[in-house]
Amino acid sequence: MINLRTLAVLALAAAATTPALAQTSSSPTRLSGVTVMAPAPTLPKVVSTFPEEGKSVAPGALILKVTFDQKMDPDGWDYGKGPDAYPDCLARPRLEPDEKTFVLLCTAGPKSSFSITLNSSGRGGFENGAGQKATAAAFNFTTDDEKSLASIAEAMKAAGLKGDEGPVMDVKPAVAAAETPTP
């Protein structure tokens, strides 16, 4: 009959010869309600913006679009004002379904210069799912004196967004009074 001490020694020997498990890629591992993310080999960085650096766009409704090279955390962002003006924008951007692209609804007046900084305030900021903060970046653009974009749909088209990629987050519809059960 094997005693408890022998079982403990056998268990330790087996554990010593079994290779340790390691996350070897940046893809998440899900374990009963917990997601474990390994750090990416590089910090997230901006790969494209709309408006593009140095370009001129129509005034009016505007969607700032920032795309990163890796999947990002939807709850972290840091937009700031550079040396030029900052457009009037909603308080919160939306992370698109690709999990790499943030969109922010704004308005911008005609014949103006704008500067946008990303992750330059030192507080919070854009970060990937593993909590790695994106490299700081900036982009500048101007508005011309063409006809203003008057709707979100026009601004989405200008930014190259599809119908389901709008800058406003979905909300549950309110229940109408007629649908509310009476006591």
Q: Please indicate, yes or no, if residue 178 is contained in any of the structural domains.
A: no
Q: Please indicate, yes or no, if residue 182 is contained in any of the structural domains.
A: no
- Which residues neighbour 109 within 8 Å (Cβ) at sequence distance 6 or greater? 59, 143
Answer yes or no: are the C-beta atoms of 117 and 133 closer than 8 Å: no
Q: Please indicate, yes or no, if residue 127 is contained in any of the structural domains.
A: yes
Helix, strand or coil, per DSSP, at residue 157 = helix
In 3D space, the residue among 160, 162, 125, 156 whose CA is nearest the CA of residue 45 turns out to be 125
Q: Please indicate, yes or no, if residue 35 is contained in any of the structural domains.
A: no
Structure-token match 């591992």, residue found: 29
- The tens place of each residue's pLDDT in the chain, 183 residues long, gives 555 555 444 444 544 444 443 333 445 555 566 666 666 688 999 999 999 999 999 999 999 999 999 999 999 999 999 999 999 999 999 999 999 999 999 999 999 999 999 999 888 899 999 999 999 999 999 999 988 898 888 999 999 988 888 887 654 444 444 444 444
Q: Please indicate, yes or no, if residue 11 is contained in any of the structural domains.
A: no
The pTM (predicted TM-score) of the whole model is 0.71
**Structural tokens at position 162:** 């599809």
Query: Domain containing 58 — which CATH number?
Result: 2.60.40.1220
Domain that holds residue 107: 46-158
Q: How many domains, the chain?
A: 1
CA atoms within 13 A on the CB side of 80: 16
Q: Please indicate, yes or no, if residue 25 is contained in any of the structural domains.
A: no
Structure-token match 């922010």, residue found: 104
